Structure 1
């Protein structure tokens, strides 16, 4: 087989190839991720969507050579990062995961024929299992729920038993190492699987998930989680070193799932170079981690190379249309778990039918509807948990409805159980006698200038990251404001500027300073959250903004909010484009036009702005707005060039607003394409 592959490569390499306008940006590299390579793969119909055919791999190698795309080694990337020789034009890093037998029988001969370097990632737990010929211990832990035990000497690969003949041998690994073309990375020892992530039974990537013990109902502590990851990576590192004589310096995370937390652990055990999946496959050598293009369905070369143009045209933070539904988790919650699950099923069907991009999902409990967080839908050290529900709903929305889930969270309005602590940490204003008293207007908020507030809110956000590491973003609630006469707590001796450890120079703050303080307070909390979340999800930040601030720039003094400042600080600004909440006497369509004019004037367009419309008129009895009216507002804004639309609330249990007209206005697949 090896000589046959070389012969195929030689024959195809001599063929003519058309020059391509596609290019990798100078000084960067494109990383691609392969798995199995077989002669009989049928593109788009193969049982293994990650397998590629030998012919297509040869075609890709041939295309790169003909178009001056140059595969590079990890060492070349490290050298470029450290100020050595820069990367060549159109640099490509070839990576192959899992340690399958075809890496030796099919891939290695081609790499030798073309003189291309590559990075091979070994899942050492699988290799040790099949080499030992006895999977009793491994199978009992990993596949305890399987209907039938695995045959001895096999592991479950793509839902079927795979034995020693499906994987590399130690001798093959050593031979490839000695060639100088192949560098071996860790693909973990036993993290290429899911672990129990919530009481409802969802399994999520082992590398970033706090494992739930079904017997005790307790989640792994920070110490236990980190020790589990550390032990696994050390075991994989030691196994590779024992075979190759070299300790791996790169970790290729299973499923691409990783976080800053586990990247730090990998670096600690000697693997500072971190590879994932998702996001753009175009990487700068100086980046903290590298993403790869997952090759599926046996694509032709131009389809692979086209990802370079797509990434170049659409940088990571480039504006793109947003369509979101703002969902109250309180609608799903029910004391009866079966009813809560039934409610979730209704939501999933509706979101799939709505054809939207994102869901802003409530992560806090607010059963009395006053906007303050009385409890949370995830475990936390500071507030009670109403139900362990957020992880389950977010995961189901992501995997079954295919949407990005943003955790909708307060920033200041947490009702702490300790009444004395809540009052002591409150946003305050001066009463008629000049005494600082807690502000209770609309929201009961914690002062952003008190270090204890920052610690508590940061802990809550970190708890959210631990509980739901797969979220794609966070939306900060509209509780993050300060009125003109707030916050007298900034004048207390212990007060500090958010995120800094020095007293305020002057506690009499301008509206602009208050706006910046709230942004900085939020940044501190979000950084605590981001430390735990999956980096492969391209985590995004969003912030609610009152429309009045946009329509009347002088209103910054009343809210400590600003559209230009928010656009600089967040990936998205969700303007509460709710005419009948704003209190205007203008017709709604006229008011929306004026709001769009003001946004365009202040922002220079609509990039990064989401117009969040109201589906309910809270004046009087709080009637639901006709879905046709909501649709007309959406279409009006789209005609103006608005990129981002959302609405709130959504009563999915009672089809309010009605699905049909709402979808016509909101779906990216509908207006203006179908109407």
Structure 2
């Protein structure tokens, strides 16, 4: 399992360099086992000959391997790291490090980091080590005398790789095993999850135990934590610092740690690369940072079934569909909306505020991630929750009538309400606590029309901004309308920014996407009708997701409408590198699916116009709609000429 988990991280994240404060030019490389002969299916090992070639190329091209002391000095304002700084790290403590790597480090005079798992090292000689889902001989790993020799050499920094968290634990009712560092343990006998306090104590005791072991056996206190599988959260980072490890290393992911200076990302060396491939990876990180997204937007309501056997069958069909189509991203519904009104009536994860229709999101997200290798985004409402909070709703004001929820729009909580922000934030924290996912896609309910919001909290915000109470007066004067739109846009973005921070407590490296209607992109005046703007979305989110849905917009000529939309996006500098175009695979006016050949033609139109990221909603995997054979050539990421 450990190899699978590490490989999935690599597939989802790519080999990406992470700039960090005071370490802006640092490239951190992550190696594992080093052998004389790498077997074909061993993606995690590197041959000694190829490692020598890597070291020689680094030396010949002016790269400077640095030590942990160098990094601490740079972080504290001392000598900055040299140009082309490289950190060499080796995970797990294989015996091959002593036999093959250590002599090379001495020959090249290169410092390195060696990350050790205490429970593996404490296994008696001649016994087997629990190694993911398998058992391997204790002799696969270094002995204590060998470890003392490398620790005393002055070249090798001994780091903690946890005492016993380099494994999976049962993390949902269906029995999936997720990384022990970040997952909440599920107890099938009690049908309950580990509490916040128990989770913290489990991590704290593990960190302390490995620290005490390494101090006892090697006479040193580790200053560095290397996260197993690259998985961590802010709770773990805080606890590591608490026990003396103020520098930690993940696997590669852009924006590691949400720019937390205590977390440095590393490039995972996979596939035993020869020198040419190694050099290509170092020189082409930009390809991985913005790899084209091919997206399926999936309703989890289609997977859910009261019959657990049928539900598993539905999940199987979804996994087969994703593999067949070859997409690399899934926007997966995390809320239940059986009546299709866009408001979350229940949720698919344990939470404090709404019914849980089924504890299903974590199961499906993890199966998608491990079985198909896709990047999973949790699709969530921002304001549209069926909560009993009548005093905290978005209210519309038109004419002299009473303020009331707009009958034609989603029933939404007001983003100006502090109580709403607290409750929704807790829902998002519960999601992040109980599920593993790589991103968030915010639903299209995050808008305010030019008749909204008249909630008392919103009215007070307008007064503080110097706006009159009359919405009609605001709409009649351009300057006031601009200011009003800005106040509402900033409030929506601030509300969502707080949700992102709530999630990053548990999922620090998530990407973000947010649905934006097409009209604010096509018609400048429309941003006043939605409190949305493309440039604002580009500044705050990794991927603005435009609802490129011509039938929903009642376009007379759908293809021409799409061309105009692409032209409008292309006119914004850099937008085609960020924007995801979401096509519609169902015509909601008629309730009928859009023909697969039509959808494929629209995708081809987007590609030919220079669009990089696109997908469609919804995918009816139960009924093969759209028909896979028709859309596969255009939606599959396998057709992209380079891979992350």
* TM-score, normalisation: structure 1: 0.85
Q: Is the 8 A contact 1:31 1:282 kept in 2?
A: no
Q: Partner of 2:6 in structure 1?
A: none
1:630 aligns with 2:603: no
Please give the root-mean-square deviation of Cα atoms over the aligned residues, in Å: 2.7
Could you give the per-residue CA deviations for residues 429-469 of structure 1, whole angstroms, max 9, x where no partner exists? 3365564333443211001111100000100111110111x
Could you give the per-residue CA deviations for residues 253-309 of structure 1, whole angstroms, max 9, x where no partner exists? 111111222112211221111111133699999944112222233222332233221
Question: Could you say if the C-alpha distance between residues 160 and 589 of structure 1 is closer, same or farther in structure 2, counting changes exceeding 3 Å?
Answer: closer
Aligned-pair CA distance for 1:27:
5.2
Question: Could you say if the C-alpha distance between residues 496 and 189 of structure 1 is closer, same or farther in structure 2, counting changes exceeding 3 Å?
Answer: farther
Aligned-pair CA distance for 1:249:
1.0
Q: Partner of 2:40 in structure 1?
A: 45
* TM-score, normalisation: structure 2: 0.89
> The residue matched to 2:79 in structure 1 has which SS?
coil
Aligned-pair CA distance for 1:428:
1.2
> The residue matched to 1:32 in structure 2 has which SS?
strand
How is 1:312-323 mapped onto 2 (pairs within 5 angstroms)?
313-314=286-287, 316=289, 319-323=290-294
Could you give the per-residue CA deviations for residues 130-162 of structure 1, whole angstroms, max 9, x where no partner exists? 3xx6xxxxxxxxxxxxxxxxxx73213365533
Q: Partner of 1:391 in structure 2?
A: 362
1:198 aligns with 2:172: yes
> The residue matched to 1:653 in structure 2 has which SS?
coil
The equivalent position to 1:579 in structure 2, one of 544, 550, 553, is 550
CA distance in 2, matches of 1:72, 1:604: 35
1:606 aligns with 2:576: yes
Q: Partner of 2:539 in structure 1?
A: 568
CA distance in 2, matches of 1:487, 1:618: 27
1:232 aligns with 2:201: no
Q: Partner of 2:633 in structure 1?
A: 664
The equivalent position to 1:478 in structure 2, one of 433, 444, 456, is 444
CA distance in 1, matches of 2:333, 2:364: 10
Q: Is the 8 A contact 1:543 1:574 kept in 2?
A: yes
Q: Is the 8 A contact 2:348 2:359 kept in 1?
A: yes
The equivalent position to 1:530 in structure 2, one of 471, 491, 504, is 504
The equivalent position to 1:591 in structure 2, one of 561, 564, 569, is 561
Q: Partner of 2:4 in structure 1?
A: none
Aligned-pair CA distance for 1:121:
0.6
Q: Partner of 1:540 in structure 2?
A: 511
The equivalent position to 2:104 in structure 1, one of 107, 110, 113, is 110
Question: Could you say if the C-alpha distance between residues 354 and 164 of structure 1 is closer, same or farther in structure 2, counting changes exceeding 3 Å?
Answer: closer
CA distance in 2, matches of 1:190, 1:440: 55
1:81 aligns with 2:79: no
CA distance in 2, matches of 1:94, 1:199: 40
Q: Partner of 1:90 in structure 2?
A: 84
Aligned-pair CA distance for 1:491:
4.3
1:264 aligns with 2:220: no
How is 1:145-164 mapped onto 2 (pairs within 5 angstroms)?
153-157=127-131, 160-164=134-138
> The residue matched to 1:64 in structure 2 has which SS?
helix
CA distance in 2, matches of 1:239, 1:252: 16
The equivalent position to 2:33 in structure 1, one of 10, 19, 36, is 36
> The residue matched to 2:241 in structure 1 has which SS?
helix
Q: Partner of 2:264 in structure 1?
A: 290
Structure 2 residues without counterparts, runs of 5 or longer: 1-16, 470-482
Counting matched residue pairs gives 610
Q: Partner of 1:184 in structure 2?
A: 158
> The residue matched to 2:338 in structure 1 has which SS?
coil
Aligned-pair CA distance for 1:74:
1.0
Aligned-pair CA distance for 1:590:
1.4
1:365 aligns with 2:331: no
Q: Partner of 2:418 in structure 1?
A: 451
CA distance in 2, matches of 1:199, 1:119: 38
CA distance in 2, matches of 1:428, 1:282: 39
Larger relative contact order (Cα-Cα within 8 Å, sequence gap ≥ 6): 2
Question: Could you say if the C-alpha distance between residues 67 and 607 of structure 1 is closer, same or farther in structure 2, counting changes exceeding 3 Å?
Answer: closer
Question: Could you say if the C-alpha distance between residues 29 and 427 of structure 1 is closer, same or farther in structure 2, counting changes exceeding 3 Å?
Answer: same
Question: Could you say if the C-alpha distance between residues 285 and 576 of structure 1 is closer, same or farther in structure 2, counting changes exceeding 3 Å?
Answer: closer
Could you give the per-residue CA deviations for residues 472-520 of structure 1, whole angstroms, max 9, x where no partner exists? 1111101111111211125479x669xxxx9766585611221121111
CA distance in 1, matches of 2:457, 2:91: 57
Q: Partner of 2:620 in structure 1?
A: 651
Question: Could you say if the C-alpha distance between residues 79 and 604 of structure 1 is closer, same or farther in structure 2, counting changes exceeding 3 Å?
Answer: closer
Aligned-pair CA distance for 1:250:
0.7
Question: Could you say if the C-alpha distance between residues 285 and 200 of structure 1 is closer, same or farther in structure 2, counting changes exceeding 3 Å?
Answer: closer
How is 1:395-474 mapped onto 2 (pairs within 5 angstroms)?
395-416=366-387, 418=388, 422-430=389-397, 433=400, 435-468=402-435, 470-474=436-440
CA distance in 2, matches of 1:627, 1:225: 47
1:616 aligns with 2:583: no
Question: Could you say if the C-alpha distance between residues 556 and 534 of structure 1 is closer, same or farther in structure 2, counting changes exceeding 3 Å?
Answer: closer
> The residue matched to 1:277 in structure 2 has which SS?
coil
Q: Partner of 2:121 in structure 1?
A: 127
> The residue matched to 1:582 in structure 2 has which SS?
coil
CA distance in 2, matches of 1:654, 1:310: 40
Q: Is the 8 A contact 1:635 1:671 kept in 2?
A: no
Structure 1 residues without counterparts, runs of 5 or longer: 1-22, 134-151
1:350 aligns with 2:321: yes
Question: Could you say if the C-alpha distance between residues 568 and 100 of structure 1 is closer, same or farther in structure 2, counting changes exceeding 3 Å?
Answer: same
Aligned-pair CA distance for 1:50:
2.1
Could you give the per-residue CA deviations for residues 22-43 of structure 1, whole angstroms, max 9, x where no partner exists? x99995122112222233x23x
Q: Is the 8 A contact 1:24 1:308 kept in 2?
A: no
Could you give the per-residue CA deviations for residues 331-369 of structure 1, whole angstroms, max 9, x where no partner exists? 000001111110011111111111112011100000011
CA distance in 1, matches of 2:458, 2:577: 40
Deviates more, 1:183-192 or 1:604-613: 604-613
Q: Is the 8 A contact 2:44 2:271 kept in 1?
A: yes
Aligned-pair CA distance for 1:672:
10
CA distance in 2, matches of 1:598, 1:219: 48
> The residue matched to 1:669 in structure 2 has which SS?
helix
Q: Is the 8 A contact 1:347 1:653 kept in 2?
A: yes
Q: Partner of 2:480 in structure 1?
A: none
